[in-house]
């Protein structure tokens, strides 16, 4: 992602992602952060990249990839700040993030996109190519390089730190009388 793209995005924007994104879940995140702590090279270049928190289901015969729905994002919170410090610019998951991660998104000028839970088949249809690039022994938690077209997400936390999960609730609060 280009910085100009990130700065233009605002909470609630609906976006169709194009190009390359990577997948990673808990086990892969743990390994990436361990490599960073050891001062070793990562198996992927995170600069300007987006990570989708998913572990796709196995592909059925004749299919490129199985259902690829989002994983609950806060599970990645313990690993997120070091990855943002390593130039990661976007994340895709479902659900809210912790306060420290929200602050880091603002500090590192990144963005968190929400994907809709229960729409795994829809997301898999936007994936045009999938290649395992690291940790194949992790099975569905291996890191995949995905080429996507019209991958639908919503900006949940923008680079200014505005949070859709907080702002959305404010818009529907009922006054007490």
pLDDT tens sequence across 143-153: 999 999 999 99
Report the chain's mean pLDDT, rounded to a whole number.
93
pLDDT-derived band at 176 (thresholds 50, 70, 90) equals confident
Q: What is the mean pLDDT of residues 149-159?
A: 97
Q: Hey, CA dihedral for 9, 15, 16, 19, is it positive or negative? A: positive
Q: Hey, CA dihedral for 50, 52, 55, 56, is it positive or negative? A: negative
Say what the pLDDT of residue 84 is.
Answer: 98
Q: Would residue 33 show up in a list of annotated catalytic residues for this protein?
A: no
Residue 154 lies in a domain: yes
Give the structural domain span for 70. 3-172
For residues 133 and 135, what is the distance between their CA atoms, to the nearest angstrom?
A: 7
Q: Which two tokens stand for residue 21?
A: 């994104």
For residues 124 and 63, what is the distance between their CA atoms, to the nearest angstrom?
A: 10
Residue 45 lies in a domain: yes
Say what the pLDDT of residue 94 is.
Answer: 96
Residue 177 lies in a domain: no
Of 6, 11, 25, 29, which is the active-site residue?
Answer: 29
Count of domains forming the chain:
1
């Amino acid at each position: 992602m280009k910085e100009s793209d990130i700065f233009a995005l605002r909470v609630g924007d609906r976006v169709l992602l194009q190009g390359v994104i990577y997948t990673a879940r808990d086990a892969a995140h743990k390994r990436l952060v361990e490599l960073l702590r050891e001062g070793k090279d990562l198996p992927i270049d995170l600069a300007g990249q987006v990570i989708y928190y998913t572990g796709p289901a196995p592909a059925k015969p004749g299919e490129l990839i199985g259902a690829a729905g989002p994983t609950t994002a806060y599970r990645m919170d313990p690993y997120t700040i070091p990855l943002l410090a390593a130039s990661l610019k976007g994340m895709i998951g479902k659900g809210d993030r912790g306060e420290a991660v929200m602050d880091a998104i603002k500090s590192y000028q990144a963005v968190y996109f929400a994907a809709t839970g229960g729409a795994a088949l829809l997301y898999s249809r936007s994936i045009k190519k999938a290649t395992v690039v690291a940790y194949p022994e992790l099975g569905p938690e291996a890191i995949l390089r995905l080429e996507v077209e019209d991958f639908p997400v919503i900006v949940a936390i923008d680079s200014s730190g505005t949070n859709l999960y907080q702002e959305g609730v404010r818009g529907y609060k009922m006054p007490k009388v």
